[in-house]
């Protein structure tokens, strides 16, 4: 969700990305949000997320080790350099309901379209089974 400084909603983004980890989904959301903010003319951006890993990695306080996240981190940095500044803020999950709603919408759209034949894998057996 992209808002202006007064809190007005300028854009809502919901995209199904298929099977991915939560961390990949968080990075993709951050990346697309930054791209949309730039497209709408933003120069400075406050990116809020309830993902501590995402915020700490983008703020430079945590290292990025996962190869997929390294690539996405680099893509975020590329968009960041096209802006005058990006600030990252960790917010409680209960204050991020709009993002959760959009994430669920993206998943639902994917499952209704390209992912309609997706079958989740069987759960792994328990340690002592």
Entry pTM:
0.81
What does each of the 129 residues of the chain score in pLDDT, given as a tens digit? 788 888 888 887 777 777 778 899 999 999 999 999 999 999 999 999 999 999 999 999 999 999 999 999 999 999 999 999 999 999 888 877 887 776 777 776 766 788 778 777 888 888 886
Domain ranges of the chain: 2-112
- Structure-token pair, residue 84: 């005058």
**DSSP conformation letters of 72-115:** HHHHHHHHHHTSSEEEEEE--GGG-HHHHHHHHHHHHHHHHTTT
- Please give the CATH topology (third level) of the domain spanning 2-112: Nucleotidyltransferase; domain 5 (3.30.420)
């Amino acid at each position: 969700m992209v808002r202006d400084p007064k809190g007005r909603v300028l854009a809502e983004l919901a995209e199904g990305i298929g099977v991915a980890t939560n961390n990949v989904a968080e990075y993709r959301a951050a990346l697309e949000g930054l791209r949309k903010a730039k497209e709408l003319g933003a120069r400075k951006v406050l990116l809020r997320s309830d993902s501590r890993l995402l915020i700490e990695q983008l703020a430079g306080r945590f290292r990025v080790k996962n190869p997929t996240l390294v690539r996405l981190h680099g893509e975020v940095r590329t968009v960041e350099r096209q802006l005058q500044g990006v600030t990252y803020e960790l917010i409680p999950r209960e204050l991020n309901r709009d993002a959760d709603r959009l994430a669920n919408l993206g998943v639902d759209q994917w499952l209704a379209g390209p992912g309609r034949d997706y079958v989740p894998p069987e759960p792994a057996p328990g340690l002592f089974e």
